[in-house]
Structure 1
């Protein structure tokens, strides 16, 4: 089950420059500011900057659908013809992410928050 599209992650080559640009665009400072990820929260939306995104095969912004069973949904996407770009991975604190692309090259991200 999906609870909607709540996160968009941009692959970036120059994290400091991208952080400056998005801070100006969103008119706020990041709530997470690490060498591996910078995250902003604005109006219930997460905007992330991933300096390793290009190396993971990401070619542009990735919309992340928040889901309750990431492994089952990723499997269903593959059965429907998607290609896995990033298999399910814990990115900290039990938060799981994965990404795939459809037959047209569109990127689809999946995100599962830890069960409370």
Structure 2
């Protein structure tokens, strides 16, 4: 039924600032843009991170406070990634947290109010290498 992650969408009151912030963080420009939207392809599976002008958010969407699910992106070094995110102006949402052997998580709130999770995940690495 669920075949794979297609797009993680983040809302921003200032899309231009959000695009500049994520371009700095990711080290690449959006691969697709249209008025009110910018999209990056990132990671081993080229998943999409979409930035959307908050004017297009569905009625009743959370504003001002983080809410909803936390999507964790695999990284090779959670501490270094967390430090970089904080240096770019993100605020700690969840501190560096060991979850068990091979699993460490942390999350931040970006300057636009979205929660961005990062994780070192041994299962991710195993699947990437063709294991189970």
TM interval, short-chain normalised: 0.3 to 0.5
Structure possessing the higher relative contact order (Cα contacts under 8 Å, 6 or more residues apart):
1
TM-score by length of 1: 0.47
TM-score (norm 2): 0.42
